[in-house]
Structure 1
Amino acid sequence: MASHHEVGKKGELLAADHLRLKNYQVLHTNWTYGNLELDIVARYRGVLIFVEVKTRSTQYFGMPEEFVHANKAQLIRRAADKYMDQYGLLPEEIRFDIIAITVDKEIVHFEDAF
């Protein structure tokens, strides 16, 4: 059985491929700053998008998207601020999405999730 890290990495690869198929430009995957992380940073139609990927090998504990709580969303927002600072990006239109991937590789993309 694959570890949860392996499941997560496979999910992030599937999510990045999914975005590319939708003509998103994937700028970074697994970007980190200290203890902050962004799973995927992409651009689509002039919008900078920060994507949190949640992959679950079982639905026993709930759907993947249910695991992005308020605290996690706040960490992602902080990471997005650091990302824009690091790359000298001025405040622009940004969006926070969730891509949920289930055991059967069903991909659900929640745009503007938080």
Structure 2
Amino acid sequence: MKKYNKQKGDRGEAIAAQYLKEKGHVLRARNYRKATGEIDLISQAGETVVFTEVKLRTTDAYGTPAQAVDYRRQQRMIKTALWYLQENSLFDWNVRFDVVEISGAPDSGYSVNHIENAFLMEN
């Protein structure tokens, strides 16, 4: 099951990365990991660093893909993003947290929903 989930996650991230590139983003990192968590994609859109969580679902039986990005996951992303900003001296940059929802399956095709500013970093 883990191998299938990893393959599904990799497929979703590849779809999302291509989608963001087509929107003009420059990919800076993929699967950025720290003890605080992982960020699927980190890109640059103009003067903004965009931290993106990618969720691929083949069914909506358990809710929309974005609903899986709960408060705990958001907080882990924020803490991990702070590490990335510090390591790359990017504290003066604008920051945004997005979610890319991908629905569907390989045989029927995928639909992509990009939610910009899906959540905010609390002060």
Shift of 1:35: 4.8
Which residue number in structure 2 is paired with residue 60 of structure 1? Answer: 61
Cα RMSD after superposing both structures? 1.5
After TM superposition, the score normalised by the length of structure 2 is: 0.86
> Which deviates more, 47-56 or 86-95?
86-95
**Where do 5+ consecutive residues of structure 1 fail to align?**
none
Structure 1 residue ranges (4+ consecutive) displaced by more than 3 angstroms after TM superposition? none
SS at match of 2:93: coil
The 8 Å contact of residues 49 and 96 in structure 1, kept in 2 or not, is answered as: yes
Asked if 1:113 is matched to 2:118, the reply is yes
Shift of 1:3: 1.4
SS at match of 1:65: helix
Shift of 1:92: 2.1
**How many percent of aligned residue pairs carry the same amino acid?**
28
Which residue number in structure 1 is paired with residue 49 of structure 2? Answer: 48
**Where do 5+ consecutive residues of structure 2 fail to align?**
none
After TM superposition, the score normalised by the length of structure 1 is: 0.93
Question: How far apart, CA to CA, are the structure 1 residues paired with 2:50 and 2:36?
Answer: 20
Q: How does 1:19-98 map to 2 (within 5 A)?
A: 19-98=20-99
Structure with the higher fraction of residues in strand conformation: 2
Aligned length in residues: 114
